Amino acid sequence: MSTSNQSDLPPFDVFDLKYTQPPNPSFTFGEPLTATPEGQKWAEAEAEGWKTVDAAQEDPRLLYALCTSGIVPRPVAFVSTIAEDGTENIAPFSWFNQVSAHPPVISVAFAGSPRHKDSGNNIRATKGFTVNIISEPWIAQANAASIDAPPGVSEWDLSGLTREPSVFVKPARVKESAFSIECELLQNIEIKDASGVVTANLVLGTIKYIHVRKAVLNERGLVDPAKLKAVARMGDITYVKLGDGYRIPRPVWAEEEEKIQKALNLS
């Protein structure tokens, strides 16, 4: 989709997340994809064949574009760091996720642009950073911080967002974020290309402190996705919002064994 003229697009829809049935609510064990009309349509599309890519031979720019368009949706980390000389930096990164629950550890990858390198360098130097989850009402402010500003220009000031003192680390958290985490550097992993040149740094950070707005919590004290309104990243410059959600219980063998035996003719 072309985004060259935003004025031609309809305005943003402010709708709450609603829950629906899952795509195949009557699924039974062993049932093939083609058992539903939508599944049949998906299977038929395989007739168009496959595009195959040898990652070692592909142009890195094209490989980047293909992977970021296919590995979706991705959560977005709005990372606040501070250099040894006190210079602050804040920028959004979509190579981000939680990788461990105990201890609680997140990962963020930094590569390419000077802005990315600044954030990674700051973390390695000062060992602390904050990750702030971006919500729909302030995505424009967060995106402003992605600008390639020259030295001496503060991304914080450009964004219009508010610094809020952290408890455990030196970099500030974003006051407007309903879910912020303070992290301490656990490990930095250098990622090198075939020639041995470092092209990216994968940072693992231990979560030391969490700030959650009470307004986004449900009755169980957990984050309600409909209230958090977190944004996700797709390929190119496309972001997405939560629309419809559905819940699919994990099967338990003790409860499903009889059905499985019957479906697979194991009895």
CB atoms within 10 A of CB 82: 21
**Distance separating alpha carbons of residues 117 and 130, to the nearest angstrom:** 16
φ/ψ of 198, rounded to 5, equals -70, 120
Of residues 162 and 50, more confidently modeled? 162
> What's the pTM value of the predicted model, to 2 decimals?
0.85
**Distance separating alpha carbons of residues 29 and 265, to the nearest angstrom:** 11
Domain boundaries of the chain, sorted by first residue: 14-22+54-263
Q: What is the CATH number of domain 14-22+54-263?
A: 2.30.110.10
Q: Is the peptide bond before 32 cis (omega within 30 degrees of 0)?
A: no
Residue 190 pLDDT greater than 60, yes or no: yes
Mean pLDDT (whole number) for 236-259:
87
Q: 121: part of which helix (H) or strand (E)?
A: helix 114-126
**Distance separating alpha carbons of residues 63 and 111, to the nearest angstrom:** 15
In percent, the amount of the chain with pLDDT more than 90 equals 50
Residue 112 pLDDT greater than 80, yes or no: no
